[in-house]
Amino acid sequence: MKCALVLCAMVALSECFQTVPLIKGKSARESLEEQGLWEMYRHKFPYNAAAKFDQQFYGNEPMTNDFDLAYFGVISIGTPPQSFSVIFDSGSSNLWIPSVYCSSAACKNHQKFNPGLSSTFRNSGKSLSISYGTGSMKGFLGYDTVEVGGIQIRNQIFGLSQSEAPFMAHMKADGILGLAYPRLSASGATPVFDNMMSQHLINQDIFSVYLSRNSAAGSEVTFGGVDPQHYTGQITWIPLSSEMYWQITVDSITINGRVVACQGGCQAIVDTGTSLIAGPQADIASMNSAVGATGQNGDNMVNCNNIGSLPEIIFNIHGHAFTLPASAYIRQSQYYGCRTGFQGGDNLWILGDVFIREYYTIFSRAQNMVGLAQSR
């Protein structure tokens, strides 16, 4: 069900952004005040709350935008560090990378971790198997120091692949760093963000994602805070309906005031690891029909000359309207023409990168909420 991967060509690791040092920005209290959450935190931590939240570091990790299809950044694992590009995936929970023990074709064009070169590596003795919508991996679990966004997480459990499905060869990133809840984690492995929290490496138990448009630079994930430079207006906070994926309730999807999908409400996950917006086949067909798209070879095409006159699509969530203009939901290619960013799937909706590019997204483990604000 979960489409954590997208089809993309190979890229050299040197083309990825390098990990940046831990940075000190505005205090967490100032950030919380901007988000309208300071009073909530102040009452939750009544003793010396101001001092607690005025002293905090957070980590920014730049991401490469691969033609608006996938976003990935660079992490390091081991002592001395070995670098890998990973997709930061809010739709899964495991961290894994290829290992030197993998002989699959998919491993041959990616960086591979060598445990023998790390003085801090420890084998867990447990196996790992993960299946995604477009690929799978098998291997084993180990522990080592992981650095992401300048934050060092000690004794982080992670997967080392020994075999990967052929599709993985088309990934530009080496591996995946899952950011969903522990309940979703294969083999009970503790997710990276949970260890950030338990090791007190961040005071705000949140991470935030900005995805750039049109292959532009500037995409980033921020651990422990938000970056006001990436959004405008107020943050709308939406409570989770389930704490496994980042799952929320959508009230309806409308065009020109008419419900075209999600009649009576539906469940959706906010997923940085999926390129498109996915939903039940009948609903997706209704949305494509409403914008005048016609099916061609499995794609839903529109006339590129008509983009300016196509309607806005409104996702009504928790009493708020989140608008997607045609410029957001139509994908333009000089080779393939203009296609919608909607894909038929299972009953659980997936609000992937097509949606997140329009709305700066804050994932709060502290309050089990998702925050959405208009991206700049």
The catalytic residue positions are 89, 271
Output the six-digit token pair for 62: 């730049």
- Answer for the pair 20, 149: CB distance below 8 angstroms, yes or no: yes
Q: What angle do CA 15, 23, 367 make, to 5 degrees?
A: 100
Output the six-digit token pair for 206: 């949140």
If we measure between CA atoms, which residue out of 12, 29, 2 comes closest to residue 345? 2
Query: From CA 75, how far away is CA 84, in angstroms rounded?
Result: 6
Token look-up 């500037």 returns: 218
What is the DSSP-derived secondary structure letter of residue 311?
Answer: P
Q: 102 to each of 15, 138, 168, 181, how far by Cα in Å?
A: 24, 9, 12, 28
Question: What sign does the CA torsion over 142, 181, 219, 9 have?
Answer: positive
Segment holding 196, helix H or strand E: helix 192-198
Query: From CA 243, how far away is CA 369, in angstroms rounded?
Result: 9
If we measure between CA atoms, which residue out of 7, 93, 89, 133 comes closest to residue 271? 89
Q: Are strands 277-280 and 349-351 parallel, antiparallel or unpaired?
A: antiparallel
If we measure between CA atoms, which residue out of 169, 173, 98 comes closest to residue 139? 98
Output the six-digit token pair for 256: 């020109």
Token look-up 């009970």 returns: 188
Q: What angle do CA 204, 230, 152 make, to 5 degrees?
A: 40
Query: From CA 314, how far away is CA 233, in angstroms rounded?
Result: 18
Task: Give exposure, 78-90, as e/b (b: 16+ Cβ within 10 Å).
Answer: beebbbbbbbbbb
- Answer for the pair 225, 204: CB distance below 8 angstroms, yes or no: yes
